[in-house]
Structure 1
Amino acid sequence: MSIEAIVFDLDGVIIDTEEVWEEVRRAYVAGHGREFLPDSQDRMMGMSTVEWSTHLAEEVGVPLPPAQVATDVLGKMAERYRESLPLIPGSVETVRALGARYRLALASSSARLLIDQVLDTAGLTDAFELTLSTEEVARGKPAPDVYLKAVAELGLTPEVCAAVEDSSNGLRSAGSAGLAVIAVPHGVYPPAPDALAQASLVVKAVTEVTVDAVAALR
């Protein structure tokens, strides 16, 4: 058995946006006279748009419906991306190199509009056979839904697919879906030990995810 396809996460793997997400959401919450809960940032990493906007509205206390919270925050994120897209060094080249050998998909917690904008700006629209947002499945990460759907739509099984993830919830999602997991831990938001234990391979940078490294997973 060997790997036939690789499913990439987006935030924290191709673009370094976890700090941008935190900055934008904290400022938005503060603008409504509220503060993050102690575990808000960790919990929201990997959540779908519906899930994190509901958290901000119903648990953090932003006095607006979740749908409005999502619209506002996504608009601010899109504006930041237009100003400057924080690509992780070597990520585009890594995707292209792996795409020459493997089928590629993308499974992201970002909203569809942000995924499409990022890939267009980065010149990666044609790199992925399939792109999915957790908006398009029942549950966001750490549930396995988005990875299971990606694998199914590729017409494959989890055993012949690898995932490239950085966050605790992303690693848990890919691991519980049964993919071979490659962890690229974020320096500012390192994954929890139990999540990192899901990984078959841990690398220091996405550029270390090479064709040979993926071939050795199974």
Structure 2
Amino acid sequence: MAITSASFNAPQLLDSIGLTHYFDHIVDPATLVRGKPDPDIFLKGAHALGLLPSDCIGIEDAVAGIRAINAAGSYSVGIGDKHALCEAKLVLPTTAALSLTLFT
């Protein structure tokens, strides 16, 4: 798994909540030329994992992020309001609803 957060604090946040070991790569937003909705951050994440973007699932809570995931050619999952995130292929109310069984 990869974190493709535009936040410069993502590595520190993951460390503080003990989740860093779950991720193989963290895309550094300082390496990006353009932010979301440009797909660059998601393309870099897929590349870092050695995957095609079409083999990836992106999870986002913002419209610009959903647009970036879709532009990358990945499967987009929106977390939050289904009307605001209507461009996502799947919208869930909270991250608690996430499950790998949704994608098998």
Per-residue deviation, 1:134: 2.4
Aligned letter for 2:87? Answer: Q
Give the root-mean-square deviation of aligned CA atoms.
1.6
Partners of 1:162 and 1:131 in 2: CA distance: 15
Partner of 1:163: 58
Tell me the CA shift for residue 191 of structure 1. Answer: 7.8
Q: 1 or 2 for the larger relative contact order (CA 8 Å, sep ≥6)?
A: 1
Once residues 75 and 87 of structure 2 are traced to their aligned partners in structure 1, the CA distance between those partners, rounded to angstroms, is 9
Q: Distance in 1 between matches of 2:82 and 2:11?
A: 26
Q: Residues 191, 107 of structure 1: CA spacing in aligned structure 2 closer, same or farther, 3 A cutoff?
A: farther
Partner of 1:107: 4
Tell me the SS of whatever aligns to 2:10: helix
| Identity level (%) | 32
1:207 aligned to which of 84, 92, 96 = 96
Structure 2 portions without partners, runs of 5+: none
- Please tell me whether the aligned partners of residues 116 and 125 of structure 1 are also in contact (alpha carbons under 8 angstroms): yes
In proportion to residue count, which structure has more helix?
Answer: 1
Taking the aligned partners of 1:108 and 1:203, their CA distance within structure 2 comes to 19
Q: TM-score, normalized by length of structure 1?
A: 0.45
Aligned length: 104
List structure 1 runs of 4+ shifted beyond 6 angstroms. none
What code does the residue aligned with 1:183 have?
Answer: G
CA distance in 2, matches of 1:133, 1:159: 21
- Structure whose alpha-carbon radius of gyration is higher: 1
Q: Matched residues in 2 for 1:107 and 1:119: separation?
A: 12
- CA displacement, residues 113-170 of structure 1 (integer Å, 9 cap, x when unaligned): x112101111011110111132221111110000011111111111111001000111
- In the TM superposition, 1:125-204 aligns within 5 A as 125-185=20-80, 193=84, 196-204=85-93
Map 1:1-218 to 2 at 5 A: 104-111=1-8, 114-185=9-80, 193=84, 196-215=85-104
Question: What is the TM-score normalised by the length of structure 2?
Answer: 0.91
Q: Provide closer, same or farther for how the CA distance between residues 213 and 146 of structure 1 changes in structure 2, counting only shifts above 3 A.
A: same
Query: Structure 1 stretches of 5 or more lacking a match?
Result: 1-103
Deviation by residue 1:152-191 (Cα, 9 ceiling, x = unmatched): 1111111111001000111111111111001102xxxx58
- The aligned amino acid for 2:23 is F
